Amino acid sequence: MRVSAEVGERPVRGARGAGSETIKAAVFDLDGTLANTRPAISKLLVKVAAEQGCPVTPRQAAAAVGKPPGQAFGRLLGKPEDDGRVLAAIGRYRELFAYDVLCQGPQLLFPGVTAGLSALRAHGVELAVATSKTTRGAESLLDVMGIRELVGPVIGQDMVRRGKPHPEMVLRAAGRLGVAAGESAYVGDTVGDMRMAVTARMEAVAVTYGAGTFGELAAVAGTRMCSSFKDVVSVIAACRPRQTAGVAAQRRRR
C-alpha cells in the first residue's frame, strides 16, 4: 500500500530498514496503553446507555472501550450508528467526558509512562499517538495527564477514512514523523492494534495490562509482549528494523 505525502508530513528518512540499527519511531495507542481510562469510561458508558433507556452491564461497557463512539453506542444500544438514540448518546458522552474522566488528570496514567516516554525521547526515538478517539478528545486527555509535550503528532479517528485495524492511521503517524513504517513500532493493548501494526509492517508491541488478554495478543504472529511500560521501553530499545526482501538481497550480494 502506498501512502502519498500530505501537507505537514516530513520526508521519510531513507529506505525501509536501510542503514539503521534501531527503531526510530514509536506510535502509541491511548486508552489501555498510556491511559488507564477503562474503569472511568466503562462507568460513563453505563450511565449514558441507561439515560437512553438501555441498561448495560459493566462487562458489556468494558468491551466497548477503545472503539469509536458510534460503534460503541451502536453495539450497546443495539442500533445503527446513525440512529437518533445513538447520536444523542454520543453527544451526552462527550458532554460528560470532562467531568467523569478528564477530571482525574495524571492519575489516569499507567505506571512508568511519563518516565518511559521521556527515556525514549532522550534516546532519539520519535513519538506519536494513533487512537480511535477523536483528535480533540485525545489531545485533551494527553493535556490533563501532563504528557502532551512528550509526544508529537496525534492522529485520531476523525483524521482517517478507515479506522483500526486498517493501517491508514499508523502509516499517517509515521509519515508525520518522517520515519519509514519498517523503522517504527506500534504499541497497543488490543488484537486490532496488533493486526494494524503487522499490516503496516511495523513492530507490533502489545501491553498485557490493557483490554486484550495475553493469549489473544500473543496469537497475532510477530507480536512482542510487555507486562509493563518499562518493558515497552526495553523492547523498543532492543528492536531492530525489519528488512525488505530487496534490501536483504542487496546485502547478501555485497
Q: What's the rounded Cα separation, in Å, for the pair 107 and 111?
A: 9
**Catalytic choice (29, 189, 193, 231):** 29
Residue-by-residue DSSP string for 87-116:
HHHHHHHHHHHHHHTGGGGGGGBPTTHHHH
Q: What's the rounded Cα separation, in Å, for the pair 24 and 36?
A: 26
Active-site residue 31, yes or no?
Answer: yes
Pull the grid cell for residue 65.
Answer: 472501550
Active-site residue 100, yes or no?
Answer: no
Q: What's the rounded Cα separation, in Å, for the pair 20 and 126?
A: 14
Max CA-CA distance within the chain? 69
**Catalytic choice (31, 189, 193, 231):** 31
**CB under 8 Å to 85, separation ≥6 — which residues?**
52, 54, 77, 79
Q: What's the rounded Cα separation, in Å, for the pair 187 and 14?
A: 23
Q: What's the rounded Cα separation, in Å, for the pair 185 and 20?
A: 14
Q: Which residues carry out catalysis?
A: 29, 31
